[in-house]
């Protein structure tokens, strides 16, 4: 490893394990729904498996490093190549998708959508957060005066819309139609 590969920006874990860092552009930030830089810090456990200690999104590499500094990291080994950061991001997204799928909630009637929901018939609805990819998609069930958010996910393309609707249909034994385009309302 070359001397310039060691960057001193991140905190050293209490047990003095070596911290690793990597970042790369082009990852979907689930909070802003924009493609940005994604970076993470991790150590390796006894089985040589990654244990992620922190992750960040930024507009550029410097933003990611600055956030890591703000978190108190002061030394790490920078890992070249995208395979580590890609694997960490995919794990992060999978876990977020599981949380979004299983988190159900009763929507408050005083929401911005209350006028819409007052006139809507009871049944299942697929709602997206905006007209272009990527967007949040939700399955909503209206029962009487109550509106339940059943499932949510982020869709980056048409195939993910179809997959989401198929999964809703399968889990709830219903037959919501699969739209031919992303204009599901």
- Per-residue burial over 124-149, b if 16 or more Cβ lie within 10 Å, else e, is bbbbbeeeebbbebbbbbbeeeebeb
pLDDT tens, position by position, 9-20: 445 444 567 899
What is the model's pLDDT at position 117? 79
> Per residue in 135-166, pLDDT tens?
999 999 999 888 999 999 999 999 999 999 99
Cα(73)–Cα(19) distance, integer angstroms: 9
Q: What is the pLDDT of residues 40-89, one digit of tens each?
A: 999 999 999 999 999 999 999 999 999 998 898 888 899 999 999 999 99
Q: Is the pLDDT of residue 2 over 90?
A: no
CA distance 175 to 35: 33
Mean pLDDT of the chain: 86
- pTM greater than the 0.75 cutoff: yes
């Amino acid at each position: 490893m070359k001397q310039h590969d060691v960057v001193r920006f991140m905190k050293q874990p209490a047990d003095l394990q070596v911290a690793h860092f990597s970042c790369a552009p082009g990852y979907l930030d689930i909070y802003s729904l924009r493609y940005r830089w994604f970076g993470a810090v991790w150590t390796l456990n006894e089985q040589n498996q990654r244990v992620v200690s922190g992750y960040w999104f930024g507009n550029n590499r410097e933003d990611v490093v600055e956030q890591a500094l703000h978190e108190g990291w002061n030394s790490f080994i920078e890992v070249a190549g995208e395979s580590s950061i890609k694997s960490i991001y995919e794990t992060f997204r999978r876990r977020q998708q599981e949380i979004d799928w299983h988190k159900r909630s009763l929507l408050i009637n005083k929401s911005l959508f209350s006028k819409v929901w007052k006139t809507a018939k009871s049944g299942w609805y697929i709602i997206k957060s905006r007209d272009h990819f990527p967007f949040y998609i939700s399955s909503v069930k209206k029962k009487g005066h109550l509106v339940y958010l059943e499932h949510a996910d982020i869709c980056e393309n048409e195939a993910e819309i179809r997959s989401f609707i198929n999964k809703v249909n399968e889990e709830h034994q219903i037959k919501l139609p699969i739209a031919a385009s992303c204009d599901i309302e």
